[in-house]
Amino acid sequence: MKEMTTKLLVIGGGPGGYVAAIRAGQLGIPTMLVEGASLGGTCLNIGCIPSKALIHAAEEFERARHQAAGSQLGIRVSDPQIDIAQTVRWKDGIVQRLTGGVGALLRKASVQVHKGWAEIEDGKTVIVKPPEGEPLRVRCEHLLLATGSTPVELPSMPFGGAIWSSTDALSPDVVPKRLVVVGAGYIGLELGMAYRKLGVEVTVVEALQRVLPTYDEELTQPVLDALQKSGIVLHLGCSVQGWDAEHGVHVRNDARAEEFALPADRVLVAVGRRPRTAGFGLESLQLDMAGRHVAIDAHCRTSMRHVWAIGDITGEPMLAHRAMAQGECVAEQIAGKNRRFEPMQIPAVCFTDPEVVVVGKTPGEARAAGLDCIDAAFPFSANGRAMTLEATGGFVRVVARRDNHLILGWQAVGQGVAELAAAFTQSIEMGARLEDVGHTIHAHPTLGEAVQEAALRALGQALHI
């Protein structure tokens, strides 16, 4: 068997792995990256990017249908149609350009990329099994685990055929007439709302009593209103028992002890993701685990010296931008820099319609932590830019300490609020106070003015409400 040596070996070419490899290469560290599928991982190939492309296409189609029905803007469109095959080709084109760009960046950083599946022998030796040809044994000084996560299957409804994972839902061969979505978390609702905009009859089944259960109810109420207005049928507090082609999805209402069936052409199971810890010899390292995921410290170190782990394999929050930041942190430590991964906050965005952004503590979390805080919200109904965009639903909310006005959290719900996440996170990382944001001049007319107004309202200085 051919053997090679490198200082850093990265297993997994997703957002965390490829960023770690690029940064290591920039720092002059001999680096090798192993990826069994496509560079970019889940996020770039079958997750974040393609889902946002499909969501955009669905929004454009819905807008055209709305204008065909008579728009108050005076725009008239007749009989809009969607060619889903062309939509998928357009989406795939975006993915291909981005994956090609990742490959180019890795080459620029002098990273050796090997396509194949890794099998760990020990903390410094990995066998790479390519699709064709002989296996390769790689010996390394540092091993970085960046293997990501996989969708959770229901035992009664394994993926395949009419049962879709989120991956399947992003490349449909046809637009189904009826879609049942199992799970009202962000993945289920993002894709469920997109398919509703494509004209599909959508039903959502959720075991808990509310949608987006990890977010506070004040934030999710506008999303719930939008779901109901769109015609999506919700079955909350219900569990899925199974599926058959004749009757559809078998559902049980646990509170009423009632069972019923939901007809469906396709079923999207979106009940979460689990760290990818099996199938590549991880157990041979006997690392400390924290439940299903690999335990790490504030440096992204595992319990074995010179073995690191980043991204979804290390548990929640399973976010691409967290993995990227961790990857950069590890690369710089291997290069001898003093780094820790201890961000003040990590933004979370739900790309439903309306969008939801959470950064830092909510009012409820602040109270639960025993903090004396003030909070204030500014509605988009009082924002001029939101009016011109026909997007006056939702609000921006700030949470700050009462004694010194240090900002502890931001939340927003509304059209386009994902783009406010950077400002929210930066203000917390820089230790901003309400006065810093409230007395900063914000461009007019923009949605960002709601950020300033929320801070001013918390100070008792609101101008436009």
Could you write out the three-class secondary structure of 24-93? HHHCCCCEEEEECCCCCHHHHHHCHHHHHHHHHHHHHHHHHHHHHCCCCCCCCCCCCCCCHHHHHHHHHH
Q: Assess whether pLDDT exceeds 90 at residue 71.
A: no
The answer to whether residue 439 scores a pLDDT higher than 90 is: yes
- Amino acid letter at 1? M
Evaluate if residue 70 carries a pLDDT over 90: no
In this predicted structure, the answer to whether residue 446 has a pLDDT above a threshold of 90 is: yes
Cα dihedral 366, 367, 369, 375, rounded to 10, equals 20
Phi, psi of 331 (to 5 degrees): -60, -40
Q: If DSSP states are collapsed to H, E and C, what string results for the chain?
A: CEEEEEEEEEECCCHHHHHHHHHHHHCCCCEEEEECCCCCHHHHHHCHHHHHHHHHHHHHHHHHHHHHCCCCCCCCCCCCCCCHHHHHHHHHHHHHHHHHHHHHHHHHCCCEEEECEEEEEECCEEEEECCCCCCEEEEEEEEEECCCEEECCECCECCECCEECHHHHCCCCCCCCEEEEECCCHHHHHHHHHHHHCCCEEEEEECCCCCCCCCCHHHHHHHHHHHHHHCCEEEECEEEEEEECCCEEEEEECCCCEEEEECCCEEEECCCEEECCCCCCHHHHCCCEECCEECCCCCCECCCCCEEECHHHHCCCCCHHHHHHHHHHHHHHHCCCCCCCCCCCCCEEECCCCEEEEEECCHHHHHHCCCCEEEEEEEHHHCHHHHHCCCCCCEEEEEEECCCCEEEEEEEEECCHHHHHHHHHHHHHCCCEHHHHHCCCCCCCCCCHHHHHHHHHHCCCCCCC
- Report pLDDT digits (tens) over 360-375: 999 999 999 999 999 9
Check pLDDT > 90 for residue 23: yes
Provide the pairing of β-strand 117-122 with 125-129: antiparallel
What's residue 82's pLDDT?
A: 93
Q: Of the candidates 28, 45, 20, 13, which has an alpha carbon nearest to the alpha carbon of residue 308?
A: 20
Q: What is the mean pLDDT of residues 102-123?
A: 97
* Per-residue model confidence as pLDDT tens digits over 209-243: 999 999 999 999 999 999 999 999 999 999 999 99
pLDDT at 1 over 90: no
Express each pLDDT in 383-415 by its tens digit: 999 999 999 999 999 999 999 999 999 999 999
Chain segment 124-161, per-residue pLDDT in tens: 999 999 999 999 999 999 999 999 999 999 999 999 99
The per-residue pLDDT for 67 is 86
Asked whether residue 68 carries a pLDDT value surpassing 90, the answer given is no
Check if 2-54+85-151+274-334 and 348-458 are the same fold. no
Residue among 279, 266, 333, 341 at smallest CA distance from 305? 333
How much is the pLDDT for 254?
84
Token pair for 172: 């449909």
Say what the pLDDT of residue 78 is.
87
The answer to whether the peptide bond before residue 354 is cis (omega within 30 degrees of 0) is yes
Catalytic residues: 444
CATH class, domain 163-271, is alpha beta
CATH class of 348-458: alpha beta
Cβ contact 419:451 at 8 Å = no
373 in Cβ contact with 402 (< 8 Å): yes
Q: Would you list the domain boundaries of the chain?
A: 2-54+85-151+274-334, 163-271, 348-458
CA 263 to chain centre: 29
Query: Across the chain, what does the average pLDDT equal?
Result: 96
Query: Which band of pLDDT confidence, cut at 50, 70 and 90, is reported for residue 257?
Result: confident
Buried b / exposed e along 297-333 (16+ C-beta atoms within 10 A):
eeebbbebeebbbbbbbbbeebbbbbbbbbbbbbbbb
| Alpha-carbon dihedral 319, 320, 322, 323, rounded to 10 degrees | 120
Tell whether the model's pLDDT for residue 85 goes beyond 90: yes
Q: Which residues pair with 6 in a beta bridge?
A: 140
| pLDDT tens digits along 336-361 | 999 999 999 999 999 999 999 999 99
What is residue 69's predicted lDDT score, i.e. its pLDDT? Answer: 81
Q: What is the pLDDT of residues 288-326, one digit of tens each?
A: 999 999 999 999 999 999 999 999 999 999 999 999 999
Place of tokens 């069972």: 259
Residues 165-178 have a mean pLDDT of: 94
pLDDT band at 435 (very low <50, low <70, confident <90, very high): very high
The share of the chain scoring above pLDDT 90, in percent, equals 95
- CATH number for the domain formed by residue range(s) 2-54+85-151+274-334: 3.50.50.60
Single-letter residue type at 68: A
